[in-house]
Each structure stands twice: as structure tokens, then as C-alpha cells.
């Protein structure tokens, strides 16, 4: 694809099955979570399938024909990657599992060896956890200190603070080219220049950049640049570490094993392979590398084409979506101004971000909610989380209109309205046929959900159930009652009567979690410890048809609530 055409571009992605060449209708899926991972074009999917069907063999060491073909395609992808970011040598392209592993390699193969007590590592306040935690670990190992570059009100690195933060004590500076939450293109050139002036090494996290802008690492002048294939239409589980050859030569291997070895002996010291293989231990993700190459071949012409139609269409989508969101009174953006790429983060006044995201999901609209692996940024902004819409050029104006109209409908409807309890579920009104005894709360929940078909209906019932949950006093919402592992903040307290039966009260900021708490408490309230321990919660959730519809994190949060109950009721040792 040498020139960008929106309709033709969209047609390349099989998952977006309903194609609207007139851009006047939407498909059954509106996918606005592209900052997390992009969809894959047919050329990438076919490249991996073709490898397994026609070539499948290990690379580099075998002498047979299949291995030669596999090695040729594998190394052609490396050459494509070198050209993609304009690295000076193919030896500077190291295959990794992704941007996260790439950062860890730099931390453990270089930073750990050169840092000492009192040295400083500078990172930005808006970094992804993947560009924070590895540096925290190496700081702990070496006695180095972490310094943080602050942000402006618009969400950019505050270059006026560079001289104060990057000093003669600074040995490494690591920052994102583009923030995965704020969508800002950071002034990394100025950061790199300042780092060089004090002799510090630089690592740029390009995970959010490479699908949107043309990257030239030689022009940037950074020492390391990292990114992952899956955010640029490529496969998951494969990424790239670019490093200047002079630095990579000095670094010790990150892992040991096959391929990164030159000679092994019981009588002589083991010697390591030359670059880039020194950092590629074991059988590589060959199909992933070939798929990565296919994604580069697919994307590079669009990023470098002089007509800039790809970037212009992205900008059109971003600008339109931003303006439509800005017109909604309850929407509050995290920072001032329109983002530089189609990554738009916001909160909804009076509503929890998880409630909005879950409600949108019932209409087939995929957005992301939570802290977006940027907890320090959320802490800086005094937020528990936010919503994020992230766009790609296979999205359409029609999809944005559907999203905006749906969001407006949710905000004006009864489902998320705390003040409207007319339609709230009253479990007292549910009667079980053929059962003359007083039905339990558990039986009523099962009856309610057995007659509810489809996730949209189940979601509505969960939201309505949340309105029936009594709220905890703020004084009871403390670290002792906090449920660890729950996606949204949730709290649980227990008490036991004279007969040994337990009762529970719980609360959450998110309405959807409050509804799930009603469902969980119905199974455990007013029961002794033995019954609580023996209750088959997996069968219960399966009967209600819940877990298959919940996101993995929310499903884990549901199980975390159960774990908290069992922890509170288990006999003390």
C-alpha cells in the first residue's frame, strides 16, 4: 500500500468484517482501543500462516533448504526494521518480546553494571509502567536515585525544568516519545540534547510513536529506542531494541543459551556470539519476526509518502472526536488542549470510568478504562483512572458519531443515574415457582439471571442491582477493608453473629462493581465459615453467565472479592 485510501485501508483488516466504503454505516465492532493493540492486516496474518505452512524450520544453524529460507525471511525482517528507523547498522537491531523486555535488557545488561550509589536516573511523570519499574529495580540494585521530569498543563515534558532535573549526577534519561495516556508528542530532541550535555545515556520508548510518525534514530541521536510490533499492525510477543553498536558491544548478554553462544567448553571460558545475536538467546519467535517485517512493509510507505494522506486522515479523525467530546458537558479532559495523535483521555463528571466503558461495551464499542499502566501520572493528576479513546486510520467518522450518540444516551439514561431508582431491581419481588419456603437472596439472583439473555441485558441488571447496595461510611473505606486485586477500588467488612454466621457489607466507587458485589454477597451472606469455604463460586458465576462477558481484569477482581471473603472467614492459624 503506497498511497493511503481510508476505505481500502480498512478492507485490509479481517476483524473489521463489515466494510462501509461510503463511511456512512458502522460495523458490529467499534474498536477504539488502538493504543493498547492494533488490529492486524491480512498481509501480516498471511505472512505468519505461510511461514508455518510452507517453510517452518529453525533459523541460522541448520544446513538444509528450509532453514535457509526461514533464515532469509527472518533476516530480511531485520533489514526492514533497520530501514524503518534508519539505524546505522543491522547489528543495532535486536529482536525482543516487546518494548518492555527491550527496556529490561538495557537496565540489566548496561545500567546495572555502570550505575553506583548516588547516580541518578531521570524519567518522565507520564511514563508507562514498563518504563518506570525496570528503572526502579535497577536503582534498588545499585543505590541509584530516580528523578522525575514534570509536565506542563498541556501534558508535555516541561523543558523549562530540564536544567534542574538533568544534572551532572544523571547517568540515564528514559522517556516516551508519545504518552500512551495524553497523546502528546514529547520534545525528546531537547531532552536528548540536554542528556548528552551531561554525559547521560538516553532511552526513548517509541511504542506509541511508530504507528503515527516517521522515526529516524540517527536524527534523534538517542542511544536506545524501543517499540513493539503489536501497536503498529504487527503480531503480539515481538518487539525491537535499537541500540548504538558501540554500546551494545560493551553490554553483557541478558540471557544465556543457544544462538547467543559462539563457543562452549568445560575447559575454556564460554564465548558469546557477535551482534545482534548476542542478545537473542534460544529459538526466536520466527513467525513473529516475519510478521513484524510484514507490518513494517505495510506501514512504512504510508508514513513516508509525501502526500501525508495517512497522517492527515488520522488528524481528521482525532480532531473530530475531540470536538465532539468537548461538546459534552460532563466530559473533562485530563490536560488542556487537543492531543497530537488520536489518543484522547478524559473523565465523565459524576460517573466512574469503568461504568462508562462497560456500558459502551454492551453496544459493541471498545474503549479502555482504568489507569492505563500509568499510575504515577494518575497520582499526579489526582485521579483513580480515566477513559481513553484511541483511534487508528481504519476507524471512521460514522463510528465516532455512533460512539458520541451512544455516550450521550448512556449519560441521559436511567442505567447510570444514581438519582433514578424507579427501575431498580427489588429482589423481594422475585418469587420462585414450586418453592413454598422463603427464597434466599442467592436463589433470587439465580432466578433473575436465568431469565436474562445477552450481555447487554445482564449488564443492565448488574447496574440496577448496584443501586440496591447500601453505601459504606467513608470512615469504613480504609486500607483494612480495601479489596486487593479489584480493578476499581472496593471495600468489604464482615461481622459474625452468635450462631457463627457471617454477614458482609461492601462498597465501590464503580456502579458495575457494586452490582457485582450484590451478586457475590448473595452467595455468602448469613452463612457459617464451613459453608462459605465449600461454596462452588465458579459454578455459580458460570450459572449466571458472567465471567465469559467480563474483561480478564474485572473477572479477576470478582474473584478477588471472593478471596477477601474467604480470607476473613477462614480459621486463624
CATH number at residue 197: 3.40.640.10
Q: Where on the phi/psi map is residue 345: left (φ > 0), alpha (ψ -120 to 50), or beta? A: beta
Grid coordinates belonging to 519:
451478586
What is the pTM for the complete model shown?
A: 0.85
> What is the extent of the structural domain holding 282?
45-302
At residue 254, the pLDDT reads 86
Say if 39 falls within a structural domain: no
In this structure, the strands spanning 271-272 and 145-149 are unpaired
At residue 435, the pLDDT reads 40
Tally of domains within the chain? 3
Residue where one domain finishes, among candidates 247, 267, 302: 302
3-state secondary structure of 91: helix
At residue 557, the pLDDT reads 73
Say if 40 falls within a structural domain: no
DSSP string, 331-378: EEESSSS--SSSEEEEEETTB-HHHHHHHHHTTTEE-EEE-TT-HHHH
The arithmetic mean of pLDDT across residues 519-543, rounded, is 88
Grid coordinates belonging to 341:
495523535
Q: Does 373 qualify as catalytic in the annotation?
A: yes
Grid coordinates belonging to 216:
529516524
Say if 26 falls within a structural domain: yes
Say if 500 falls within a structural domain: yes
Instruction: Identify whether residues 167 and 58 lie together within a single domain.
Output: yes
505: closest CA among 475, 485, 531, 530? 475
7, 373, 386, 486: the active-site residue: 373
Q: What is the mean pLDDT of the chain?
A: 89
For 270-329, the pLDDT digits (tens) are: 888 888 989 988 889 999 999 999 999 999 999 999 999 999 999 999 999 999 999 999
Say if 438 falls within a structural domain: yes
Instruction: Identify whether residues 226 and 268 lie together within a single domain.
Output: yes
In this structure, the strands spanning 365-366 and 201-205 are unpaired
**Opening angle at CA 476, ends 483 and 497, nearest 5:** 85
DSSP state of 437: S
In this structure, the strands spanning 120-124 and 170-176 are parallel
Q: Is 243 in contact with 213 (CB distance < 8 Å)?
A: no
Instruction: Identify whether residues 326 and 283 lie together within a single domain.
Output: no
For 146, phi then psi, to 5°, come to -95, 130
Residue 480 burial (10 A CB sphere; 0-12, 13-18, 19+): exposed
Instruction: Identify whether residues 57 and 199 lie together within a single domain.
Output: yes
Residue where one domain finishes, among candidates 412, 440, 467: 412
Q: Is 29 in contact with 16 (CB distance < 8 Å)?
A: yes
Instruction: Identify whether residues 379 and 479 lie together within a single domain.
Output: no
DSSP string, 187-200: -HHHHHHHHHHTT-
Instruction: Identify whether residues 241 and 362 lie together within a single domain.
Output: no
Burial 401-438 (b: 16+ CB within 10 A, else e): ebbbebbeebbeeebbbeeeeeeebebeebeeeeeeee
Instruction: Identify whether residues 261 and 327 lie together within a single domain.
Output: no
Q: Is 492 in contact with 564 (CB distance < 8 Å)?
A: yes
Instruction: Identify whether residues 433 and 406 lie together within a single domain.
Output: no
Q: Is 96 in contact with 234 (CB distance < 8 Å)?
A: no
For 124, phi then psi, to 5°, come to -95, 155
Say if 421 falls within a structural domain: no
Instruction: Identify whether residues 250 and 294 lie together within a single domain.
Output: yes
Torsion of CA 376, 382, 383, 389, to 10 degrees: -70
Half-sphere exposure of 567 (CA within 13 A, CB side): 13
Q: How far apart are the first and last CA of the chain?
A: 66
For 384-401, the pLDDT digits (tens) are: 999 999 999 999 999 999
For 475-503, the pLDDT digits (tens) are: 888 888 888 766 678 899 999 898 899 99
Instruction: Identify whether residues 382 and 475 lie together within a single domain.
Output: no
pLDDT at 21 over 50: no
Instruction: Identify whether residues 12 and 64 lie together within a single domain.
Output: no
Sign of the torsion formed by the C-alpha atoms of 330, 335, 338 and 340: negative
For 86-128, the pLDDT digits (tens) are: 999 999 999 999 999 999 999 999 999 999 999 999 999 999 9
Residue where one domain finishes, among candidates 302, 321, 344: 302
How many Å apart are CA 69 and CA 27, to the nearest integer? Answer: 39
Say if 295 falls within a structural domain: yes
The CATH number for 542's domain is: 3.90.1010.10
Q: In what order do the strands lie in the sheet with 331-333?
A: 331-333, 343-348, 386-390, 368-370
Q: Is 176 in contact with 186 (CB distance < 8 Å)?
A: yes
pLDDT at 507 over 50: yes
Grid coordinates belonging to 386:
480515566
Instruction: Identify whether residues 545 and 483 lie together within a single domain.
Output: yes
pLDDT at 333 over 90: yes
How many Å apart are CA 550 and CA 541, to the nearest integer? Answer: 11
At residue 415, the pLDDT reads 45
How many Å apart are CA 526 and CA 98, to the nearest integer? Answer: 49
Contacts for 435 with CB less than 8 Å, ≥ 6 apart: 443
- pLDDT over 90, % of the chain: 64
The CATH number for 331's domain is: 3.90.1150.10
The residue ranking higher by pLDDT, 514 or 342, is 342
pLDDT at 425 over 60: no
Helix residue spans in 158-285 (DSSP H): 162-165, 188-197, 217-220, 245-250
Say if 446 falls within a structural domain: yes
Amino acid at each position: 500500500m503506497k498511497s493511503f485510501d481510508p476505505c481500502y485501508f480498512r478492507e485490509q483488516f479481517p476483524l473489521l468484517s463489515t466494510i462501509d466504503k461510503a463511511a456512512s454505516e458502522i460495523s458490529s465492532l467499534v474498536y477504539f482501543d488502538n493504543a493498547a493493540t492494533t488490529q492486524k492486516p491480512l498481509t501480516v496474518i498471511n505472512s505468519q500462516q505461510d511461514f508455518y505452512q510452507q517453510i517452518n524450520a529453525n533459523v541460522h544453524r541448520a544446513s538444509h533448504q528450509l532453514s535457509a529460507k526461514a533464515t532469509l525471511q527472518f533476516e530480511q525482517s531485520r533489514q526492514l526494521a533497520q530501514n524503518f528507523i534508519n539505524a546505522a547498522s543491522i547489528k543495532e537491531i535486536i529482536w525482543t518480546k516487546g518494548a518492555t523486555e527491550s527496556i529490561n535488557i538495557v537496565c540489566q545488561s548496561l545500567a546495572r553494571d555502570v550505575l553506583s550509589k548516588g547516580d541518578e536516573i531521570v524519567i518522565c511523570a507520564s511514563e508507562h509502567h514498563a518504563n518506570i519499574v525496570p528503572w526502579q529495580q535497577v536503582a534498588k540494585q545499585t543505590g541509584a536515585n530516580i528523578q522525575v521530569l514534570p509536565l506542563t498543563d498541556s501534558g508535555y515534558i516541561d523543558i523549562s525544568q530540564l536544567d534542574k532535573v538533568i544534572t551532572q549526577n544523571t547517568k540515564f534519561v528514559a522517556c516516551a516519545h508519545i504518552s500512551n495516556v495524553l497523546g502528546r508528542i514529547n520534545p525528546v530532541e531537547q531532552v536528548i540534547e540536554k542528556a548528552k550535555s551531561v554525559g547521560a545515556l538516553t532511552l526513548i520508548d517509541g511504542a506509541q510513536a511508530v504507528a503515527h510518525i516517521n522515526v529516524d534514530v540517527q536524527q534523534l541521536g538517542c542511544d536506545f529506542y524501543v517499540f513493539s510490533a503489536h501497536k503498529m499492525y504487527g503480531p503480539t510477543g515481538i518487539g525491537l531494541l535499537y541500540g548504538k553498536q558501540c554500546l551494545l558491544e560493551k553490554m553483557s548478554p541478558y540471557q544465556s543459551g543457544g544462538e547467543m553462544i559462539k563457543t562452549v567448553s568445560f575447559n575454556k571460558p564460554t564465548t558469546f556470539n557477535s551482534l545482534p545475536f548476542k542478545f537473542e538467546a534460544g529459538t526466536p519467535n520466527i513467525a513473529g519476526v516475519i510478521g513484524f517485517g510484514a507490518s513494517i512493509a505495510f506501514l512504512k510507505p504510508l508514513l513516508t509518502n509525501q502526500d501525508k494522506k495517512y497522517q492527515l486522515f488520522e488528524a481528521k479523525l482525532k480532531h473530530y472526536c475531540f470536538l465532539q467530546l468537548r461538546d459534552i458537558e460532563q466530559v473533562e479532559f485530563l490536560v488542556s488542549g487537543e492531543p497530537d495523535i488520536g489518543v484522547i483521555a478524559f473523565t465523565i463528571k459524576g460517573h466512574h470510568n469503568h461504568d462508562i466503558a462497560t456500558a459502551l461495551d454492551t453496544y459493541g464499542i471498545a474503549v479502555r478504562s482504568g489507569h492505563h499502566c500509568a499510575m504515577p501520572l494518575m497520582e499526579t493528576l489526582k485521579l483513580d483512572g480515566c477513559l481513553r479513546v484511541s483511534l487508528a486510520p481504519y476507524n471512521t467518522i460514522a463510528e465516532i458519531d455512533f460512539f458520541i450518540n451512544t455516550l450521550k444516551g448512556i449519560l441521559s439514561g436511567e442505567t447510570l443515574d444514581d438519582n433514578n431508582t424507579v427501575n431498580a431491581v427489588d429482589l423481594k419481588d422475585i418469587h420462585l415457582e414450586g418453592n413454598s419456603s422463603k427464597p434466599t437472596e442467592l436463589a433470587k439472583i439465580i432466578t433473575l439471571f436465568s431469565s436474562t439473555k445477552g450481555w447487554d441485558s445482564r449488564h443492565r441488571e448488574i447496574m440496577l442491582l448496584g443501586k440496591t447496595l447500601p453505601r459504606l461510611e467513608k470512615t469504613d473505606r480504609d486500607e483494612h477493608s480495601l479489596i486487593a486485586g479489584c480493578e476499581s477500588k472496593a471495600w468489604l467488612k464482615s461481622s459474625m453473629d452468635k450462631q457463627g454466621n457471617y454477614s458482609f457489607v461492601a462498597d465501590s466507587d464503580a456502579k458495575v462493581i457494586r452490582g457485582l458485589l450484590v451478586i457475590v454477597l448473595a452467595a455468602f451472606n448469613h452463612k457459617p465459615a464451613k459453608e462459605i469455604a465449600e461454596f462452588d463460586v465458579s459454578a455459580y458465576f458460570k450459572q449466571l453467565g458472567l465471567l465469559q462477558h467480563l474483561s480478564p481484569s474485572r473477572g479477576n477482581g470478582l474473584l478477588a472479592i471472593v478471596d477477601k471473603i474467604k480470607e476473613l472467614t477462614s480459621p486463624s492459624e
